[in-house]
Every structure is written in structure tokens, then in C-alpha cells.
Structure 1
């Protein structure tokens, strides 16, 4: 059953395959575009899983079915709508089961909805779809007083979800006399308070986790270690202290990486049981110094952020910068790599076995790093700096491929598609370092 994009959007609706394999004109990497038409596709943010638990389907957002979640089969290119009635905020794929979770606004608050993806895919393929209620279940209804929303995250135990609560609810849990932070930076963002709460998707129980005096962004769960949360102080740019971590019971609140005023830390992502990748930006010229950061012809300004002087002097290469990886247990930080010129690495991720790291830069090029040898290799480029968003590279579960969003095929230079980039075969054949073997075990 093939439907046109203009048809009524129903769960299980199937759309024609758009799958194309394209050779990168610069690097020669064979890119698999799972979507290739101008529907305004975008991937799930790198803080969350991209593939279903069986590793066969990639879930994404698209105007192909406006306001609904979509899934594409990596092997066949089949596209299936996997929600009905809309969603709000982050899409959460379970890693242990074929389930999808998201928020949806309702008259009496905010619902947390569970989708049985296995049944959706099976019935869609058979052409025997049931009503949406057969596949979607309201797990929890959060009262309107919580002002719940934003970056919901599914815990590793798949029993709890974490979510942001509004200023009034957060203020109720702050110690008396707490200094509330004002906005920070030229985007006038970052003021608090904000908080994190959690809800049990089996019982409906709701508990407060923590309140902080600043604006919270990018809530993510450690997908290998239940009860561990990473989040950020969101300002739209440089933060006084970007990265934070806390336990599900509210204990252990601390900066994840205590940053210096000259450091511009951003785009943290939990990549394994003990590690978080993040970018320490090196995208700005050193005030008063010669223009040595950028390669000839490389422009890191324009549509890219952080060039205006209102952010201060942070983000230069006067101090170490690059793709940083922080150990949650030892608290040690290492820099896996950095581009020699240009903006430096920006959105970052890593394979859970500790072998690889990946990052994009302002040119929308994607670089792979061998964490054992520190070798860096550009996998793909030419994804158009005019694109509606950035590549946001994210590894699959076994560290053999990377999903990005790309405007390479876009006629208007903006509309993006879902693209899979393989880790090169010759790299996959390299001996697995003992440290990576230990992480796997």
C-alpha cells in the first residue's frame, strides 16, 4: 500500500523507497542515502539512538508525513510512518525492545506515548493495519503544572523517562536563597531555574530529580548504566559551565567537565558506559594574532555561530581544543583529535567499543578518528554549508556505520536527507586494541 505525501497521515502508511548509493566526489566513500527527495528530513539528535533495537530501521523526522515520526529500512529503503497524532520533543528508541517513546501534548497535560514498532512494521508489510490505538499506548500523563517538555530521555533500564520541568516546578525544589542565573550571551538564553523529573512508564509514578538555577538543555540518559543522566546549561552558545551530570535520585550533581572561561564546550554525547564525547571548539581567531587558524579559502563565519565578539574571547586555539572524551568514573579528559584548520570539530560522537570517534565541522565535512592510533580521515564532504542543519554524525550500536543528515542531493541547497556513512573496511580490519576489547566485555 503506497501513499502519496498528500494522503491522510496514518500509522503504518508506506511510502516508495528513495534509497540511493552515491559516491562522495571528494573522498570516494560510498554513501547510502535512505531518503533522497526534498521532504525536509532530519535525524534524531546524536544524544539518542537512531536505529531500532534490531538494527534494521532508522527512525527520523520528515514532512513526508507532517508532524509524525518515520522509519526507513536500511536494506530495502521501505519508508513507514510510525506515529499517528503527532509528537513533541525528542524521539526515544529503546535498545532492548522494538519500542519508540515520545511526548505528546494533551488537554490535561503531556502524555508519554509508547509505540510497538514490531507490530507496526509487521502489519504494515502485510497491509492489515489496525487502528492507531492498537499500536500506541499512553504510558504516563504528566500534569500541566509540571510544564513538562523538551529533551525526554529513556533510561537504560527502559522503566523510566527523564524530562525537563518548567520554572515554577523547578523553583519549588530549589534550596531557599539559591542565586538564579540570568541570561548569558548575545542570544539571551540560559536563565533559570529549570529542573529534571522522571516518570515510570509502567506504573505512571512521577518523581523530581533535580533543580538547577540555569536553563537545562539536551537531557540524555547513559544507555549502558541505569540511573545516570547527562545534561547541559543551554545558552545557545558558550556557557559558563556547559556539561553536567546527576544520578536519577538527585544525588551526585556536578559539572561533568569543569571548563575554563577560555574554553567553548559544546555538543556533549554519552557514547559508552563510562564515556562522554564533547567538542572543545577552536573556531575563533585569537584577538590581535595573525589569521593562522583558517586554511586559505576556509570561511568559518557566515551561517555558522559564535563569530560575534559578544561571546568574549573563548573558542580560540590558544589552548588545547578538539574532540574531547571525558571518563565519567576517573573524570580524566583526553582529546582524540582536531582538524588542523578551519572551525575544528563541532558535533561529535563515538563508538561504544572505544575504537572510533567522529565529528563534523563548519564545512559540513565528517571526520573519523581511530582512537588507538589518533589517525584522522575525512569520510565525506560537500554537504553544503547552506543546509538547513548540520550533519550530526552518530554511530550505530556496533560501531560499523555512521548516520548523518545531508543536503548533498538538495536542489535548493537546504533540504536534507538521511544518509549512512560506512566505517572504511580497511579500518574495520585493524586489530582491536585491548582497551576496546575490555570495554566490550
Structure 2
């Protein structure tokens, strides 16, 4: 659905289902998504490899025809860019390159194994969610020709594929475990060169929710949500702590405490330097993070679903919003508008069931926007 920010009007823009990430082009009114070829349904609780179609939706036509009330068949608005063979095990994460001529997608274990170096150590599952085992890989598809190119294989499970929207061919992804990873953040170029950890983390660090925020920077959350072992409030062995605020279980190991520096970190991709932009004085610390592309602001939420804004020049931090329901179907995930004046979040604040999501816009305070 497309939602008009000013009026709240909603227009349905896809038909026939999709899986994984939605990718909006920044240079054209196009939306890209993956769909199971032949609209094959996914078996509940079981992910089976099927051929996947890359679909391009023409938003200009859809919104114009919706406005006039004269919708055409879906074939007038969508184009099949190409089909990914079932044996590649594609699905889930996908990202549109800055040049908008190709998408990058996740490759499953069987295909990734074909491209691994002989004798390479393959990682097993990590943590209580039994996720993270490899190998996995990355590949690309040209949106005009449908041509597929293999990029790289890694010995672990890939997640959270994204691009640098300003630098063609630069890919950011993670080692996905459902919680802490031995090494969360990674980067590679579209030709397979430059594969390396983005932020080399220590065993005691819990890094999560990386997001490209400027042409040269990635924001990360270094979690400070767990009690220091041996102190009051530490999760006892065998204690299962789940629900709205995960990660307290002892099975994750000794990480994510405030015994070491934590907070909203910003990594410079070129210099590899990292700075902490800010941290809440108590509680879980910042959880999902973002920033404005002009480098003025950083933003994050925490386990209480409160939203914090940080002035990157002065390091001042203020709470913008709080009281969002922990029962919500998803987390706030704050993101900035392109002009850096508004923050979009998800919330269940208006939902009678306390779960269904509302899309909310929070303005950056006028006094902060007037700062030099």
C-alpha cells in the first residue's frame, strides 16, 4: 500500500503477493519485489526452494489511474524482470543498487557451497534461536536483461542485505542469528571484491540493526541491554526471557552489558573509524538506529519504544516520543525523510488490539532545525 503522508489516503500498489523486502527506486517511480514464480504458496513453517521472479511495479501509472478511478489489469503496471532458478534458494532479503540497474539477493546453502573455497570452515548455528549456520551467498540480477551474476559466498547465514544508496556497487549485510552474532556487520562490492567485517566487534559486544545513513557512514546499535554478570537483575542460568524485549537469556553469552562502551555507533566506511553518537543513561540502550543523510541527526529507539533524537554536532540527545505499546506487531524502526526534517516510525499507539501497526511521522523540533 502507498500512503499519502499529508492526507492518509491509501492506494494498493501490488497484486499477487510478494516475499521479503520491498525496494523503492530513488530516481524513478518504480518498486521492485520478489514473488514466487507461478504464485506458489509457501508451506507454513517450512521454507522450500522455488523459482523466484523479480517484479517491477510502475507507481506513476498506478497512482495516476487510481486518482482517476480507471484501473487497468495488473499487467499494465508490472513487468517481470527475470526469474531466479529454484536451485539458487533465493528469498527474503533483496536490495536495489544505487544505479538502479540491478538488485542483490540472498543465495541458499546448496548454491553457496558450490562457490566456497575448498576446505573453508562453515559456521554452525549460534545462540538459542538455532540460526546463523552457513554457507550462504550473494548474487545480482540486472533489472533490464534479467542476467544473473554470482558475487560471493560466506560461511554463515546472511541477512539484512542493503546497499549504499549513493555509491553504486557497495553492499552491506549481516551474519544473521536472530540476536547477537560473532561478527554482525559485513561489506562487499558487487564484483565480489573487498569482502570484510564493517565493524570488527569484540566477543563482549552485541551489535545489531546496521543502517547506511550517509554516503560514507553506517549507523549501528551496540546494545547495552543486559545486566553485568554477578550483579542484581542478571538472568539466572536456565532462565528463558523472551517476549517483547528479547536477548536476556544466558545462552547468548556474556555480551551486551554496559561494562564496556555501548550506544549508537557510527562507522565511517572509508576511514573505518567508529564514534559513539550517544546512549541512553539507563534501560536497554538504543536498539534500532538511523540518521539523516546530511550528517546532522541520528535517531534511535529502545526497548520501551521511546524515540530519541541526537544532534551529531553537539551530542545533545532528547526524547521525542514515548508510550508506544510493547505489544505491537513490530518495533518502531525510526527512519529519516530525505530532507532530514521528519522521522517515520511504526507504532500500535492507535490500535484497539494493541498489535496492528500505525505509520507515524515525528517532526524534528523547529528549534533544532534552526541550528547552524
Q: TM-score, structure 2 length as denominator?
A: 0.94
Partner of 1:278: 220
- Of 135-144 and 341-350, deviating more is 135-144
Aligned-residue offset at 1:301:
7.1
Question: Between Structure 1 and Structure 2, how many residues are aligned?
Answer: 355
What's the RMSD between the two structures over aligned residues?
Answer: 1.3
1:348 aligned to which of 289, 292, 295: 289
Partner of 1:269: 211
Rounded Cα–Cα distance in structure 2 between residues aligned with 1:238 and 1:312: 9
Counterparts of residues 124-273 of structure 1 (less than 5 Å): 124-273=66-215
Aligned-residue offset at 1:360:
0.3
Rounded Cα–Cα distance in structure 1 between residues aligned with 2:169 and 2:206: 28
Rounded Cα–Cα distance in structure 2 between residues aligned with 1:267 and 1:188: 19
Rounded Cα–Cα distance in structure 1 between residues aligned with 2:176 and 2:20: 16
2:16 aligned to which of 81, 85, 88: 85
Rounded Cα–Cα distance in structure 2 between residues aligned with 1:302 and 1:137: 41
Rounded Cα–Cα distance in structure 2 between residues aligned with 1:377 and 1:102: 37
Partner of 1:419: 360
- Structure 2 residues not aligned, in runs of 5+: 39-49, 235-240
Partner of 1:383: 324
Partner of 1:104: 35
In structure 2, relative to structure 1, the CA distance for the partners of 1:301 and 1:285 (3 Å cut) is farther
Rounded Cα–Cα distance in structure 1 between residues aligned with 2:336 and 2:258: 27
Rounded Cα–Cα distance in structure 1 between residues aligned with 2:356 and 2:56: 29
Rounded Cα–Cα distance in structure 1 between residues aligned with 2:296 and 2:281: 22
Partner SS state of residue 103, structure 2: strand
Partner SS state of residue 379, structure 1: strand
Aligned-residue offset at 1:141:
1.1
Partner SS state of residue 390, structure 1: coil
Matched, 1:374 2:315: yes
Partner of 1:57: none
Aligned-residue offset at 1:324:
0.3
Partner of 1:21: none
> After TM superposition, where is structure 1 displaced by more than 2 Å over at least 4 residues in a row?
289-292, 300-303
Rounded Cα–Cα distance in structure 1 between residues aligned with 2:350 and 2:277: 31
- Structure 1 residues not aligned, in runs of 5+: 1-69, 293-299, 432-441
Partner of 1:51: none
Partner of 2:305: 364
Partner SS state of residue 93, structure 2: strand
Aligned-residue offset at 1:377:
0.8
Partner SS state of residue 326, structure 1: strand
Aligned-residue offset at 1:291:
5.8
Rounded Cα–Cα distance in structure 1 between residues aligned with 2:118 and 2:242: 43
In structure 2, relative to structure 1, the CA distance for the partners of 1:168 and 1:291 (3 Å cut) is closer
Aligned-residue offset at 1:175:
0.5
Partner of 1:428: 369
Rounded Cα–Cα distance in structure 2 between residues aligned with 1:419 and 1:325: 25
Partner of 2:6: 75
Partner SS state of residue 271, structure 1: strand
Aligned-residue offset at 1:172:
0.6
Structure possessing the higher relative contact order (Cα contacts under 8 Å, 6 or more residues apart): 1
